[in-house]
């Protein structure tokens, strides 16, 4: 701080002296003598630091990083009054440190902090200086998002997961785990991160399962949390925060209320959430298809077209690179939609109508031989249930967030909104907002990261 501050102040002071000298030259000799006499006296003359205007000091302070700004605030009362009395200075420091995630940080420190259990009767928005100081003391956390298909894990101070691995192959169904498999699962994550359980807190997503509000479902949810906590505490984890995947996906989308459509590995769940709490009273809708069925459908279509491939991994990669959701299925069948891509070690592949036909089973399940609700029917049903239990003026359920790897398919958000507008009343459909993000597969992980950096203090 000393060098940067000295350089900045030296530049400002030299300009101040030059300006002062020029002003003196324009005055008569008597005034000059009087001014000179006053300067020599020295007892009442302001120091160079005190002669710097508050505006110039503000400009200098705005160039300092947060830790230097905090140090400068204890140099003298004049500096302290400028630094501690300026919310914009600390807001800029926070924004510069957060970079592209500033909007998420602001959301976390305002909207999230207004929710139970974090809000209290005395809570209000902290000053940005206090927020900066508190966030500097937040310990780095381990963040794990484990589902029935894949696990994403990493550190809370990283911008994306450090790694991922399939859970369905080695660990069985972690939504209904046994102690030994869950111990192997967490041990693997900590070994890959080279992390020591006793040193870092853990933020973990809990799978979207046991949907109902029946006694059996409640008991299953309790059992899942009990086994998870038992494993983690036996490993010596210092602190644990477990939050539902759907809630985390909603948080990562900068929302506290809405409907999360999570396209999982084998199932798709439609989860209503109000102020961070799952509204099981309204009902969680479950569709009997997920990413696995989309991959299987593309595999079937490729075989019909005589396109050879070595394994299902190739089909999954092609789905992620080439597939999309048609806005109008019948019209798309009349278009030429051929596209190609090259996969390392497997060569080049070309798909035509298979690109959108595979995804159409989400909206027309019978095309893939599935006997289940379509995605738009499930979401519309969930919205109708929310309308029945909500105040007519509170339209919190008008926001739909798409989560999961397949939620990133191009065109999915637009198509879902189009289909929902056909099923819902006009007063609902005209304000409907469907949010689809490119990082849908990691959305819950990012929500857990945001939570750990903002609230684990």
Question: Are 150 and 249 in the same domain?
Answer: yes
Q: How many domains does the chain have?
A: 5
Specify the CATH number for the domain of residue 279: 3.30.420.40
Does the residue 225 lie in any domain? yes
In this structure, the answer to whether residues 384 and 426 fall within a common structural domain is yes
Contact 377, 365 (CB under 8 A): no
One domain, residues 284 and 407: yes
447 part of a folded domain: yes
Asked if the structure places residue 25 within a domain, the reply is no
Same domain, 232 and 273: no
Are residue 220 and residue 361 in the same domain, yes or no? no
Residue 33 inside a domain? The answer is: no
Last residue of a domain, one of 344, 368, 392: 368
**Chain segment 357-378, per-residue pLDDT in tens:** 999 999 999 999 999 999 999 9
Same domain, 278 and 382: yes
What are the pLDDT digits (tens) for 169-186? 666 666 666 788 889 889
**Domain that residue 420 falls in:** 259-288+372-436
Q: How would you write the pLDDT of the chain (457 residues) with one tens digit per residue?
A: 556 555 555 554 555 444 444 443 444 444 433 343 343 344 445 556 556 777 887 888 888 888 888 888 877 777 788 888 788 888 888 888 888 888 888 888 888 877 765 554 445 557 888 888 888 888 889 999 987 788 999 999 898 999 998 887 666 666 666 788 889 889 999 999 999 999 989 999 988 766 666 777 778 778 888 888 899 999 999 889 889 999 999 999 999 999 999 999 889 999 999 999 999 888 899 999 999 999 999 999 999 999 999 899 999 999 999 999 999 999 999 999 999 999 988 999 999 999 999 999 999 999 999 999 999 999 999 999 999 888 767 889 999 999 998 999 999 999 999 999 999 999 899 999 999 988 888 999 999 999 888 755 5
- Is 3 part of any domain? yes
- Are residue 200 and residue 249 in the same domain, yes or no? yes
Final residue in a domain of this structure, among 368, 389, 411: 368
Say yes or no: 274 and 386 in one domain. yes
Q: What is the CATH number for 316? A: 3.90.640.10
Of 317, 343, 368, which residue sits at a domain end? 368
Same structural domain, 157 and 231: yes
| Residue 203 and residue 174 share a domain | yes
Question: Considering the domain boundaries, does residue 298 fall inside one?
Answer: yes
355 inside domain: yes
Does the reported pTM lie above 0.85?
Answer: no
Do 284 and 412 lie in one domain? The reply is: yes
Q: Are residues 399 and 272 in the same domain?
A: yes
Residue 195 lies in a domain: yes
């Amino acid at each position: 701080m000393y060098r940067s501050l000295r350089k900045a102040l030296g530049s400002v002071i030299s300009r101040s002296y030059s300006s002062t000298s020029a002003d003196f030259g324009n005055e008569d000799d008597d005034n000059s003598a009087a001014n000179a006499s006053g300067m020599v006296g020295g007892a009442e003359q302001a120091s160079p630091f005190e002669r710097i205007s508050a505006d110039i000091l503000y400009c200098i302070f705005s160039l300092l990083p947060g830790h230097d700004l905090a140090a400068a605030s204890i140099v003298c009362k004049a500096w302290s009054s400028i630094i501690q009395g300026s919310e914009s200075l600390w807001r800029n420091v926070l924004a510069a440190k957060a970079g592209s995630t500033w909007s998420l940080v602001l959301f976390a420190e305002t909207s999230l902090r207004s929710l139970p259990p974090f809000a209290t009767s005395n809570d209000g928005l902290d000053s940005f200086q206090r927020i900066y100081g508190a966030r500097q003391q937040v310990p780095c956390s381990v963040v794990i998002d484990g589902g029935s298909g894949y696990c994403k894990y990493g550190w809370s101070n990283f911008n994306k997961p450090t790694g991922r691995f399939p859970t369905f192959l080695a660990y069985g169904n972690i939504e209904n785990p046994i102690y030994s498999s869950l111990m192997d699962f967490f041990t693997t994550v900590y070994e890959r991160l080279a992390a020591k359980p006793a040193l870092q807190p853990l933020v973990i997503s809990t799978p979207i399962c046991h949907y109902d509000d029946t006694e059996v479902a409640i008991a299953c949810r309790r059992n899942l949390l009990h086994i998870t906590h038992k494993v983690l505490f036996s490993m010596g984890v210092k602190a644990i925060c477990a939050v539902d995947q759907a809630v985390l996906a909603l948080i990562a989308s900068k929302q506290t209320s809405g409907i999360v459509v999570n396209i999982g590995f084998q199932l798709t769940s439609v989860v209503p959430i109000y102020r961070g709490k799952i509204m099981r009273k309204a009902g969680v809708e479950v569709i009997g298809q997920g990413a696995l069925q989309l991959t299987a459908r593309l595999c079937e279509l490729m075989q019909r077209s005589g396109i050879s491939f070595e394994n299902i991994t190739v089909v999954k990669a092609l789905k992620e690179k080439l597939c999309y959701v048609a806005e109008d299925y019948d019209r798309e069948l009349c278009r030429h939609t051929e596209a190609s891509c090259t996969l390392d070690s497997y060569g080049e592949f070309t798909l035509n109508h298979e690109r959108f036909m595979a995804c159409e089973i989400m909206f027309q399940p019978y095309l893939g031989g599935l006997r289940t609700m379509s995605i738009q029917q499930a979401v519309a049903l969930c919205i109708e249930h929310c309308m029945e239990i909500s105040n007519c003026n509170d339209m919190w359920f008008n926001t739909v967030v798409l989560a999961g790897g397949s939620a990133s398919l191009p065109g999915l958000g637009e198509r879902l909104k189009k289909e929902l507008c056909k099923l819902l009343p006009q007063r609902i459909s005209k304000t409907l907002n469907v949010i689809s993000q490119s990082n849908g597969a990691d959305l819950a992980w990012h929500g857990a990261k945001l939570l750990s950096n903002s609230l684990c203090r």
